[in-house]
Chain A
Amino acid sequence: METKEFTIKWGMAIDLDKCTGCGACMVACQAENNLAPIADASNKIKVMNWITVYELSNGKPYPEHDVAYLPRPCQQCGHPPCVSVCPVIATDKNEEGGIVSQVTPRCIGCRYCMAACPYHARYFNWRDPVWPGGLEKALTPDVSVRPRGVVEKCTFCHHRWMAAKDKAIVEGRDPMDLPEGEYVTSCTEACPNGAITFGDLNNEEHEVAKLASSKYAHRLLERLGADTQVYYVSRREWVLRQLDNYLEDEKVKG
């Protein structure tokens, strides 16, 4: 399948050596994107988290043990497996910026996309969202609230891009040439460790583009060829090895 080319390609580089697994990104994401809280969040299959922090272990016993945390938003694939299986074109990758869109009112809830996504980045609304105690008063106006029966996922806080473009237009600037940092996702903004770098992968001036070309940058299941727009950076070889399936004696680049 051919990859659609865009002038701007929004991407992320997440430094796994800087992430300490505190969960600020997950909380910021829920509040920003109007996800509902849930009383029993221990059944991870039914819990909706557009960004999830996974724990990685080097598998060695104490004292050689090492730990890392991997935040996983939607990887915004270059040729997204979810798009080709959607029977109603509720998800697509057709817009400048390369963000895989998800139009929930169009979704019929067949969940083919969830089966197709190699990253478990898609979530199905098994229940109607509930905000107890008046919590709905703190919902943002930026993202529509989804009912049960539809699939949703991380959109790289697409609404923030729209807002940044509108601001640029009103100020008489070119909305397609935003200065670095004018549009970042909620998780990027929240991270106190600066583990997430967000920007245009096609713009060499942007930090994220530099990081993506680092020898320490890998992508999740890179050899599947989904051509994702999220890069993971680590100077630890064992961490990089876990981003894809390697044979025991196989070398990892970097």
Chain B
Amino acid sequence: MAVDRRGFLKFVAGATTGVLATPVPWKLLDDASIWTQNWSWIPRNVDGENSYISTISKLCPSAAGMKIRLVGNRPVRALPDDNHPLSMGGITALAAAEVQLMYSPSRVKRPLKHSGDGAYVAISWEEAEKILKENLRRAGSKIAYVSGDETGTINELLSGMAKESGSEDFYVMPSEVQPAARAFAAMNGNGQLGYDIENSDYVLALGANILESWGTVLRNRAAFKQSHPAAEKPTVKYVYAGPVQSNTAAGADEWLPAKSGTEAIVALGIANLLIKAGASVNAPDFAEFKALAAQFTPQKVASLTGVTPAKLKAIAVELSKAERPLVLTGSEFGQGTGVATVLAGTAVNMLLGSFGREGGVKALPLAPKVIASGMDRSEIADKDLVAYLSRISAGKVPAPRAMVFYEANPVYGLPQPAAMAKVMDKVPFKVAFTSFLDETAQACDLILPTPLGLERFDDVETPYGIGQAFYALARPVAPCAVDGKPAADVLLNVASQLNMDLGFATYEEVLQAKAEAAGADWDSLMEGEFFTSDAVAEQSGLRLGAAVMGKALAAAPKAAKLSIAPVQKLNIGTPNTAIPPYNNKTIRRWELQKNEMYVAMNGATARELGVVKHDRIKLTNSSGSIQARVNIFEGVMPNTIAVLMGFGHTAFDEFSKGKGENVMELLTVGYEAGTGQSVWNVAGVNVSKA
């Protein structure tokens, strides 16, 4: 039978009826809808057993204690650790994204060599170590080491290598640590200043951004949490003095507007009032200090700092009425402050009887160094990186033949980075041990990937700001996600090949020795425990450092007509991390739009400058210039422009590169009279429409 058209149509009709009575259309429809739920490019959930490893952050400047959650053997989250003194149930915006940073697109994946034409060439570790060894040998004593770690024993190793090769040039990136250590040394003190914030009943933060970036932040914030029960009157008053109503000011019970870099003057103004009210200190130079403080009358303080006499008096009265008051000093952006600032703050604490008292200032003992040829913390604090680089720049000292950067990013993170970059050009061989391809690494001849703190053994000893002696280990929670090697292992290996005697064959032995020196039990440290001690360092013949303060303040730079106030926020990252991928959503709308940053000023200042919100302006001074748009924020002092730190990266990845500009361009380095400490907490600026 031939199939004609009608027959065919009947067949189709029958088949259609039949198919409808089978699962085909219904199953296909259902399956097709399920098919659309699982595109191949959408990652799937990967299950596994949960486990938690306690460790401490080497990435967050607050040395955050944390628990890492693993699923199977995969770390997925950095969580707060209720029992850790440096977490106390909280985590910073930076540490919260630490696991994710293991997979950051800007990680250095393998050793790289910068070839002549500027391209990176991947090389083996064997070749990298050979290049490193030969260049260190060639450089001999003309070598400098720069570390970006404030709390690790790696600094003893790096400084030991410098000294073994006959060089004194080991430096740590500048922070609050150096001025504090030098101040306490000038007081004839022994140990490290510690602050018992949790037992205080009145906290005055002069410039110190204690609820955002100063010291061991999570501990500060836990103390704030305890003393500020929800919906109730706070039990402890927090006062923040600074030029900008920052995050710390937002939490504090009172914001005391005070110009950038005038913390010491505010402190001396308070000291003057306290002394008038009968306070005194049993110190050999008290008379000298009294005379110095007497110069800072409320009127003079008001003209220099912007703090009205009435406010100053009120604060002085509140401080003297409190039982366990505490004064904390620093710079609102965590660096560039002078020795005098810490001295003045400590003097007020002593006048209040808060030195050595519960809820006051303590002298914390530091563990002795374990690498004999290395430098200890006080020696290191005396080494001023910015001053050293400036001297090279000015031709006063020759540039070294080689520079080793350990997890430090001076090309981005130091004041006047353009000038710092020029110094780099004079150094024939530069090597960067770094986890991320940062600005400094880009300027180096050899780039060696280091595992992150989550991928290696490392240690944290008594970070600045904490109120008790502390020691803990960072432990690897997962294998290194890239072809990295711990810098300590590489350097120990190279050191032994260069016949340097550091006394240790492996870094684990160094850490074991350090733990023992600190009085900690190695086995419990390895289980994620931490060591704390309430012991205090004995003092004798403690001075106020009046002479040092006097010299410094006599020559203090006058505030410019229009000044900038850099603002530090941990969520925008550090020079070492840049803006982590998960953090750029936390940048506020009028802080950054596309690649343009905003700077903030109050309405009156804007009117005076003839600008309105969103105007493009150019900020210029003798150091450099940056371009930005205007945001009006009434929480900024008059004639002050608040500029966020952390923008303007020229390296890293799409999450930070090219976003805004670097405020460090505008910071001018000066030297504190008397101490010679480099300072950059006062910067004038001119504004023009762009």
Which residues on A are within 8 Å of B, measured CB to CB? 13, 15, 17-24, 26-28, 30-32, 37-44, 47, 49, 53, 55, 57, 60-63, 65-69, 105, 128-129, 131-147, 189-195, 197, 207, 211, 214, 216-217, 233, 235
Contacts and interface: CB of A to CB of B under 8 A. Distances in A.
Contacts of B44: 145
B270 to A, nearest CB: 19
Given A37-B581, A38-B584, A39-B655, A193 B211 contact: yes
Contact of B77 (A40, A140, A145): A140
11 contacts: A15-B231, A37-B582, A55-B588, A68-B250, A133-B104, A136-B43, A138-B102, A141-B71, A193-B221, A194-B225, A207-B230
Q: Which of A27, A38, A41, A135 has the most CB of B within 10 A?
A: A27
A35 to B, nearest CB: 8
Nearest to B62: A192
B47 A53 contact: no
A42 B589 contact: yes
B45 A145 contact: yes
Interface residues of B, number: 82
A142 B212 CA distance: 30
Interface string B582-612: 1111111100111000000011100000000
Contacts of B654: 39, 132
A24 B80 CA distance: 11
A156 B97 CA distance: 20
A159 to B, nearest CB: 11
A41 B584 contact: yes
B92 A192 contact: yes
A68 to B, nearest CB: 7
Interface in B524-557: none
Given A24-B92, A142-B45, A211-B230, 7 more contacts: A15-B230, A18-B230, A28-B91, A31-B100, A192-B88, A192-B218, A214-B231
B96 A140 contact: no
Q: Which of B247, B581, B655 has the most CB of A within 10 A?
A: B581
Interface string B484-507: 000000000000000000000000
Interface string B183-225: 0000000000000000000000000000110000110011011
A233 B653 CA distance: 39
Nearest to B219: A192
B47 A141 contact: yes
A190 B91 contact: yes
B100 A138 contact: yes
B92 A30 contact: no
A57 B600 CA distance: 14
Contacts of B481: 134, 137
A65 B570 contact: no
Given A194-B225, A235-B231, A62 B48 contact: no
Contacts of B100: 31, 37, 135, 138
A32 B99 CA distance: 12
Contacts of B41: 128
Given A68-B250, A192-B221, A192-B225, A132 B105 contact: yes
Interface stretch (B272-280, B362-370, B418-426, B633-641): B633-641
B251 A194 contact: no
A128 B80 CA distance: 30
Contacts of A190: 79-80, 90-91, 96
B245 interface: yes
A117 to B, nearest CB: 19
Given A17-B228, A40-B594, A65-B634, A22 B92 contact: yes
Nearest to B597: A42
B239 to A, nearest CB: 15
Contact of A139 (B45, B91, B222, B585): B45
B573 to A, nearest CB: 11
Contact of A61 (B107, B249, B634): B634
Given A140-B77, A190-B91, A197-B230, A62 B637 contact: yes
A145 B589 contact: no
A19 B592 CA distance: 22
Contacts of A139: 43, 45-46, 76
Contacts of B603: 61-62
Interface string B38-56: 0101111111100000000
Contacts of A131: 43, 103
A32 B533 CA distance: 35
Interface in B49-90: 71, 74-80, 88-90
